[in-house]
Amino acid sequence: MFRSVFRLLPFVVALAAMPACSDDQPTTPTTPTDPPVTETFSGAINPNGAATHTFTGAMAGNITATLTAVGPDSATVVGFLLGVWNGTSCTTVTASDAAVLNTVLYGNLSASAVLCVRVYDVGRLTENTTYAITVVHP
């Protein structure tokens, strides 16, 4: 009898390793989401100037806009805005009038839309100032 138990042992191990079967209905697969899009915008503004860049958010989701470069002095303070493009101007959703290098603006898109980011002088620029913005959106 001891010997017959050892003969059955490989079958018992094989059964234990098999996945469990169930009569439950299959689960609905989750809809894959597109990876976020990263866009970079750059340019320069003069004292009392501004620059606007538009982009399209394809679906609902979170948006981040980061001021990734400002110069020639990285401590330069500028205005930085994230908004909705209405066809002629950038309508403010969130903004900082005291943005410095690495300032991040956050937004949430509820449906596809044309959006915008804007960099502008808040009265502190004394020379031509370069900038770069990185936007991550759906």
pLDDT of 52 strictly over 80: yes
pLDDT in tens, 14-44: 434 444 444 555 555 555 578 899 999 999 9
Q: How far apart are CA 67 and CA 132, in angstroms?
A: 6
Please state the rounded mean pLDDT for residues 49-68: 97
Distance between the two ends of the chain, CA-based, in angstroms?
A: 66
Q: How far apart are CA 18 and CA 5, in angstroms?
A: 20
Q: Where are the domains of the chain?
A: 37-137
Instruction: Give the pTM.
Output: 0.76
Please name the residues in contact with 67: beta carbons below 8 A apart, sequence gap of 6 or more.
78, 80, 99, 100, 101, 102, 103, 104, 119, 131, 132, 133
For the domain made up of 37-137, give the CATH fold. Jelly Rolls (2.60.120)
